Structure 1
Amino acid sequence: MLLIVLIVGLSALRFFEIGPFATLSWWWIGALFAAAFIWFEYIEKMLGRDKRRAHDESEQARRKRVSSTFKKK
């Protein structure tokens, strides 16, 4: 997520030509876009972070169902 915030911030600074970022090449920002794409499409899946997040969400939903079932009694 930090990478996306960095991309958006640098893009805005470059687009509005603020400070030293006015001369920053768009290639650097494009390289960050490529790095973010590679991270979210390949590396995150290799590390299993996408499945872990889905598992955590389903576990939280299960706990909520169980607690609501037993509170009704």
Structure 2
Amino acid sequence: MQLATVLEREFTVTVNGKPVTLKDPDNSWTPKQVRSFYGAATYPQVLNANIEGPVIENDKRVYKFVTTLGTKG
């Protein structure tokens, strides 16, 4: 019998044009709760960001916080 493996989560945001990897503060939280945690504590630009993902990369579930700041249209 083979057991299922739960993949770790990872979150990313682009800051000043560079991707920043954010650790999962609590795997029981929803991605929206994680967004609020990082937005309030460190990265206020993610508070209104869209959440994309998850995408499986390197055996992790990767979510991206995508902001629309600085774009026109």
Structure number with the higher helix fraction is 1
Same fold (TM over 0.5): no
Which structure has more strand as a fraction of its residues?
2
Q: Highest Rg: 1 or 2? A: 1
Q: Which has the higher contact order (CA 8 A, sep 6+)?
A: 2
Per the shorter chain, which TM-score range?
A: under 0.3
